[in-house]
Chain A
Amino acid sequence: MSTETSPWEDHFSGPENQSHAAQLGMWIFLGSEVLLFTNLFVGYGVYRYYYPEVFAEASRHLKADWALVQTLLLVTSSLMVVLAVHYIRQGRQFLTALVLLLAILMGVGFLGIKGWEYWEHWKEGALPGEYYHFEEIPEQGGSLFYTLYFLLTGLHAIHMLVALGLLGWLAFGAVAGKYTAGYHIPVEVGGLYWHLVDVFWLFIYPLLYLVE
């Protein structure tokens, strides 16, 4: 089955095995990503326990309404990505590329809102660590909240950028006819990564923006 241009590798003894191996590998990578974010979530948990009132006060200064828009954008982009997998399983390459492009647009919209939020924080002095000079929230606890805010949303934004590049590459491949109903492992595996980035935001959103 292996020629110069075939995506199938001989050492997998069949397409089914190759697909299994790729997906298991991706799941293990996603597990390691969960552990990466776990560290920040644990830090958040501990410092929220130490400074509950300051965390609630600082959270009220974030833009929860815009975070709702961001969450809806991400959830809808996840639908677009799962539709891409659905369509490529049927071999419909044009539709696959179209929904992938829609997902990319929503991701860019998400990052645009995030960038505007960062700019607002910059103006009011709510920056992490020693650059914190936001008068309305006490420095002790408040500085920690904003440090964790920038670490969590920043790490998430970096993952978004990588995932957006991945989706663009998949859309390009779909247009170029690289993926078919028979071979679409990259679309399935890349989709998993986008959904995981979505899942992280599902937790960042209530923890940072909706603190009581």
Chain B
Amino acid sequence: MAEEKKKSAWGYVGVWAVLAVLTVLTWVLGTKLKLGPMGLPVALLIAVAKTVLVAMFFMHLVEQPGARRVVFPVSVLFLALLMGGTLIDAMTRIRMARPDGIEDELEPKRPASTRTEPPGSPNRWMGN
């Protein structure tokens, strides 16, 4: 443990400073600058960057050997598979099978903002 004694804690403070700046940045982007459709990807990108910093330096993944490095990325891979598969399913269903796909006369009157975009509109990525 002799070499541990010499190691400085300032590296951790540096990582913390970057995390704090990114946190304020995502707040400014989300509440002041409003990026519109780009808001979600940018916010998630910042969250992923912060997660990488926390996992690598605060959780010491960068100094870990072997199997311990693999577990966390694999769990993220499963997250992506589950999220991706479910979203692709939801986005490609026919309209009738979705919560807003009820026939007009059966449907209770509610604000248009509660409905998803009709098929063919530019804000809809996929689906029929």
Contact = CB atoms under 8 A, between A and B. Distances in A.
Interface residues of B, number: 60
Nearest to A86: B9
Contact of A68 (B23, B36, B100): B23
Interface of A: 20, 23-24, 27-28, 30-32, 34-35, 38-39, 41-42, 45-46, 49-54, 57, 64-65, 68, 71-72, 75-76, 78-79, 81-83, 85-87, 89-91, 138, 140-141, 181-182, 188, 191-192, 195-196, 198-199, 202-203, 205-207, 209-212
9 contacts: A27-B68, A30-B71, A42-B82, A75-B19, A90-B5, A192-B59, A195-B58, A210-B30, A210-B43
A91 to B, nearest CB: 7
B120 interface: no
Contact of B30 (A23, A30, A64, A195): A64
For the residues of A in contact with B, the DSSP-based class is helix
B44 interface: yes
B54 A78 contact: yes
Given A35-B75, A90-B1, A79 B16 contact: yes
B114 A199 contact: no
A79 B17 CA distance: 10
B1 A41 contact: no
A45 B83 contact: yes
A64 B100 CA distance: 29
Contacts of A202: 47, 50-51, 54
B7 A86 contact: yes
